[in-house]
Amino acid sequence: MAILHLGSMTLRSMATKPETLLYPFETKPAPHYLKGSVINATEDCILCGICEKKCPADAIVVSKEERNWSIDRFRCVQCGACIDACPKNCLSMDPAYCPPATQKTVDNIEVEKR
């Protein structure tokens, strides 16, 4: 009986689409709620520094003088505290993970004067 069941399963799987993906050539789209990486829509950023103060991992550095917003993605724990605290709602969580890297990198983003 078990052999018949196994045989029917094998035949069915030969006629249907595979359940697995050919990773890394094929990837699943990230679900919208995935905590991937923090992004800053800098056109709204006023460099107030609240996100830096709220970050428990010291991942964000804001320099008003240099008009620079930076994030160390290897320190960020994706808690979302900076996003909740931003008074301009310019921070958001991108559901895509950052690409892997062999060395620690800090993303420096220039905030243009308006």
Closer to ligand SF4 by CB, 6 or 41: give it. 41
11-50 residues near ligand SF4, rule: CB under 6 A = 38, 40, 45-50
Dist CA 44 CA 47 (whole Å): 9
Least separation, in Å, of the C-beta of 53 and ligand SF4? 9
Least Å distance between CB 87 and ligand SF4?
A: 6
Between CA 74 and CA 97 the distance in angstroms is 12
Neighbours of 39 (CB within 10 A): 16
Say how far residue 10 (Cα) sits from the centre of its chain: 38
Let me know how many helices (H) and strands (E) the chain has, helices first.
3, 5
From 34, 67, 70, 88, residue interacting with ligand SF4 (rule: CB under 6 A): 88
Beta strands 60-63 and 68-72 are: antiparallel
Smallest distance from ligand SF4 to CB 102, Å: 21
Which residues in this chain contact ligand SF4 in the complex, by CB under 6 A? 38, 40, 45-51, 54-55, 57, 59-60, 62, 71, 76-82, 86, 88, 90-91
